[in-house]
Structure 1
C-alpha cells in the first residue's frame, strides 16, 4: 500500500532482505503488473523464495548478496523489512545511501525493524514487553525470554530517533513512522 501511493502501475521494486520470498509473494499477489528484484545473502533462502513464489517466479529476479549485488535500477520503490537491525550504524547508513542511489526521484522506501531506546532500564523494559507479547501470541515462554538475550547480544539496535536520522542522512525526506508495535518500528520515506 505504501509503495503503491507513488509507484506506477508497471513499477519495478527493489526488495532488500528477500529471505524466503513471503514478502515478494505478497507483493506479487497484490501487484501482478509490478516486477521485483529480491536480494538476500543466503543462497538457501533464495532457493526457498523460488519455491514460495511458484507461478509468480517470472515477476522476480533474485540476487545473492547484499546491496552492492542489487542492480543499479532505477527502481520505483524499495523495501527493507526486518533487515537493517542486523547492521551496525555505519553499515546501515551505507546501505541506505546505496538504496537511495537506486531509486528514481520521488520514489518511496519502506523499512521496518527492531528500534527502541538503548539505555537501561528503558531498553530492558521494552524487550520484556516484546517477549511478553510474543508469549501471549503463542510463542513458548522460554523462547520468548531467550529472545531478550539474543537481541541484546546480536543486534546493534538504534533508537527510533537514530533510525530516522540515518534515513535523513542517507538523503531521504518525508520520513513518516507508519508502524509501531513494541520493539518494532516502520518508516516510509521518499527520495527527493
Structure 2
C-alpha cells in the first residue's frame, strides 16, 4: 500500500489554524499557488480536469477554482478533518459542489482519470523515501500523455556547508533558515526550533537531485525546477 506517514493534520486545533500555517512556513506561499496554476494553465484546457494530491485544507483548490471557473477537480487526502476543512473553504468561496469531488485516502483512492493536470503541494516530504516513486507513478498513471504535474515540498542539499570540514552541514543550515523564517513571521523561537528538530528527525527530506530522479523514475519527463524558497523547492514535469 502506498501511503505517507501518519498525517499530522488530525488534531482539531491544528486543523482549525491550518490556513495560517503555510504562510509562516513556506516563503512566498501565495506566489507558489499562483505559479502552480499558471504552469498548469499552459496545458490544462479551459474545461479541464485536475487531480489535487494532498488536497486537505483546500488552499490550492480555492486558488485554482476561482482563477479557472471551467476547471473541475478531484482532491484526495488521508485526513478527513482536513478534507472537511477543504469542503468548507469551497462553500465559503462560492465554488459549486459539482466542480470539486473530495476523496478520503491516498492517491490510489483517486479516480483513474485521465486528468489534464495534477498538483502535489507540500505533501511529498511526508512520504517515506521508499514510497516516493510508487506514489509518483500512481499520479502519472492517472494523467493524460503530456499532462503537467506540479510538485513542491521540503528538499535540501546534503553537502558540506560554507564552513567546510568541521562546519555546519548544508542540510542543517537550510533547516535553520527554515526555522528563522518562521520566527520572522511571528512563530515563537522555541516552537520554530521544535519544528526544525521534528523535520530533521522524522521526515524523509531528499536532496533536489533525488527528488528529480524520483519523478523521472516514475515516468515523468521534462522535469524543471521553477521555485525555491529556503528549504522548499518546486518542479513542473510532464507525464
Q: Same fold (TM over 0.5)?
A: yes
Show the counterpart of 1:61.
Answer: 101
Deviations 1:155-189 (A, max 9, x none): 01100000001101111111110110110000000
1:58: how far off? Answer: 2.5
Deviations 1:5-58 (A, max 9, x none): 111110100000001111111110011100000000111111111111003133
Aligned equivalents of 2:176 and 2:201: distance in 1? 15
1:89: how far off? Answer: 1.9
Q: SS in structure 1 opposite 2:39? A: coil
- 1:11 and 1:76 in contact (8 A); partners too: yes
Deviations 1:119-164 (A, max 9, x none): 6611111111111122112222111111111101220110000000
Q: SS in structure 2 opposite 1:2? A: helix
Aligned equivalents of 2:44 and 2:144: distance in 1? 10
Aligned equivalents of 1:138 and 1:153: distance in 2? 24
Show the counterpart of 2:151.
Answer: 111
Q: SS in structure 2 opposite 1:117? A: coil
Show the counterpart of 1:170.
Answer: 218
Between 1:181-190 and 1:138-147, the stretch displaced more is 138-147
Between 1:139-148 and 1:33-42, the stretch displaced more is 139-148
Between 1:136-145 and 1:61-70, the stretch displaced more is 136-145
- 1:118 and 1:157 in contact (8 A); partners too: no
For structure 1, the residue ranges without an aligned partner over 5 or more in a row are none
Please, what TM-score do these two structures have when normalized by structure 1?
A: 0.96
Show the counterpart of 1:79.
Answer: 119
Q: SS in structure 2 opposite 1:93? A: helix
Q: Choose the corresponding residue for 2:194, options 146, 161, 166.
A: 146
- 1:16 and 1:39 in contact (8 A); partners too: yes
Deviations 1:104-127 (A, max 9, x none): 011100000000024661111111
Aligned equivalents of 2:158 and 2:203: distance in 1? 11
Show the counterpart of 2:233.
Answer: 185
Aligned equivalents of 2:120 and 2:50: distance in 1? 11
Aligned equivalents of 1:144 and 1:43: distance in 2? 27
Q: SS in structure 2 opposite 1:3? A: helix
Q: Does 1:95 align with 2:135?
A: yes
| Higher strand residue share | 1
Aligned equivalents of 1:92 and 1:32: distance in 2? 32
- Indicate the RMSD between aligned Cα atoms, in angstroms: 1.1
